[in-house]
Structure 1
Amino acid sequence: MPLWNEHSPSFEWTDPDLVPRPVVSIGATGIVMESLDRQDADFRHQPAIDFHRHLKGELLLALRGVMTCEVENGFWIVPPQSAIWVPGGVEHKFTTTGLLECYVVFIDPHAALKLPLTCCSLSTTPLLRELMVRSASLPMLYAEGGMESHLMTLLLDEIALQQVGNLHLPMPTDVRLRKIVDMIMDDPADRGTIQTWARRVGMSERTLARLLVHETGMSFGRWRQQLHLMLAVRWLGAGSSVQQVSDALGYESASSFVTMFRKNLGAPPGRYMAERKPAA
């Protein structure tokens, strides 16, 4: 057990589950850069917090930089000004891109009854972001029953009001499908058809299509497009240009990539990322 007192700084705590408070909030900053010139510029080869789990649930807010969360059956992208919720007990891994500024709230399961039961990305309001920043400045052993506890209660209520985001990539578990996933992630610009990918792993096109829908709820084309969206947000967040991202994803032109991006995320890439830049 760690030694602590009411004045212990947050960095002395190595396990949020050991902190005897229902809600624990911390902040972190750092620099992690990714370049499209690198051959390993994908979800799996970036600086990461390796697979782990907590008894407490974890809400992570990225104010700057882009984060990816991986669980057994899915990936989530967390763009700037967005958050991800990981319920207690769920094994997960974070990877990071760009100049990182993030805030994390650990929540006891008994205090998280109004929060989602599964991992999901969340939109955030200015109030939620300010509450997370403010709560991170409190001592970990804040006084219970006073202003600090009221702040944490308001924080929980505001988290429960947030809308679920759409930058989620469900992952199949079938060995053959996972082989296809690995190959596409190694070379996202490969525009092979579903017939091409089926032949590469010794499956029929019909079997591949049926299995993918069964395990992810998506057609092959829709799944690959969702992967492209997530990679695009990650690379744009690291400072890559629209043209660089378009080329890396194998689009014939930047305009066709922009059209796809706008159709799915509601804004062209430049505006989408500009809206998520933190205030100076």
Structure 2
Amino acid sequence: MSYSPTLRGSYSQFDPDVAAGETVALRVNLSCVEDEQPVHHHRKGQLVLALRGSVTCRLSDALMMVLPQSGVWIPSELPHSNQASPDSQIIFLFVEPDALALPARPCILSISPLIREMVIHLADHGDTFPEQAYRAQFCQALLHQLSGSPVEQLSLPISTHPKLRSVCNALIDNPADRRSRAEWASMVAMSERTFDRLVMKETGQSFGRWRQQLQLVVALRDLSGGASVQQVALALGYESTTAFIIMFKKAFGVPPGQYMLDRRAHVAADLAEEELLDKARMPCSR
């Protein structure tokens, strides 16, 4: 099943919990406008993949960006919302809670090219498998691969405290906001010391470290979506591109341009390896 602007109504009414099968994949094609699902939950766990564009998954205590070669895993019954960038192409994989051994908490998983292609195949051809036994075997192989996916540390903790939540939401909506710690504390009617203690208690990080983590997550999302380093630096409120590059390099060890090149090269190598393995499995022609 796929979704386009003309099918918005049917997509909003799609219920993965009544869809046939313990594993269901849904391709979603969005128009040129930003789209956001309201907070919801379902019995099936959900893996969110972005084939084009980006997706931001919001949970009660975390913000997770769906980046290329990664996916956000949302366990069963966990309330969440998904916000997609304009002209995105997304695939949702829904899995019954007892069908897959994955973390009980939401997380970002590294997605191999093999898993990605299998999910795409299930989304596009899930209703046309020659027989149910073959479909079940295919889904079992997919879930086996997915259960071995490593977890990436790219999520952002979000406080559920009402005052801090307002600060979090303001910075998520405008990462370029450069108000000082003192100004944020004043905005929520707190002293700087009380504000600092609360931020540390709620997020496990200092306010400066938390804000930098937010900027890194947003930067990776936008760079993955095709924005230039200069555009990202400007969007995050940096006075110069150089200052942004220095911050990024301290966090990841390489400049943003090199980071994206390395990530794409890694994926290309994985794809080439899969092609070689496929050829090796093919019977020799006489």
Query: Is the structural similarity TM-score above 0.5?
Result: yes
Counterpart CA distance in 1 for 2:254 and 2:117 is 25
Counterpart of 2:58 in structure 1 is 70
Higher helix share: 2
Written as runs of structure 1 = structure 2, the 5 A alignment for 1:186-265 is 186-265=173-252
Q: Which moved more, 1:155-164 or 1:245-254?
A: 245-254
* Number of equivalenced pairs: 258
Aligned residue for 1:182?
169
CA pair 243-10 structure 1, distance change in 2 beyond 3 A: closer
User: 1:206: how far off?
Assistant: 1.7
Matched, 1:160 2:147: yes
Partner of 1:26: 26
- Aligned-partner SS, 1:58: strand
Partner of 1:17 in structure 2?
17
| Distance across 1 between alignment mates of 2:84 and 2:224 | 10
The offset of 1:98, in angstroms, is 4.6
| Shift of residue 178, structure 1, vs aligned partner | 1.9
Structure 1 unmatched runs, 5+: 1-8, 34-45
Distance 1:157 1:198 in 2: 47
Question: Does structure 1 retain, via aligned residues, the 8 Å contact 2:171–2:177?
Answer: yes
Question: Match for residue 80 of structure 1?
Answer: 68
The Cα offsets for residues 62-90 of structure 1, whole Å up to 9 and x where unpaired, read as 12211100111111001122211111111
Matched AA of 2:89:
E
- TM-score, length-normalised on structure 2? 0.80
Tell me which moved more, 266-275 or 169-178: 266-275
Instruction: Name the CA distance, whole Å, in 2 between partners of 1:204 and 1:184.
Output: 19
Compare relative contact order (CA 8 Å, sep 6+) and give the higher one, 1 or 2.
1
Aligned residue in 1 for 2:278: none
The correspondence for 1:50, drawn from 35, 38, 42, is: 38
CA RMSD of aligned residues (A): 2.6
User: Structure 2: where are the runs of 5+ without partners?
Assistant: 4-9, 269-286
Shift of 1:166: 2.2
The 5 A counterparts of 1:29-178 are 29-32=29-32, 46-112=34-100, 114-140=101-127, 143-144=131-132, 146-178=133-165
Percent identity between matched residues is 39
1:157 Cα offset (Å): 1.0
With over 3 angstroms needed to count, the CA separation of the structure-2 counterparts of 1:129 and 1:20, relative to structure 1, is same
Q: Residues 108, 250 of structure 1: CA spacing in aligned structure 2 closer, same or farther, 3 A cutoff?
A: same
Query: If the length of structure 1 is used for normalisation, what is the TM-score?
Result: 0.82
Q: Deviations over 1:165-198 (max 9, x none)?
A: 2221111122221232233345433333323322
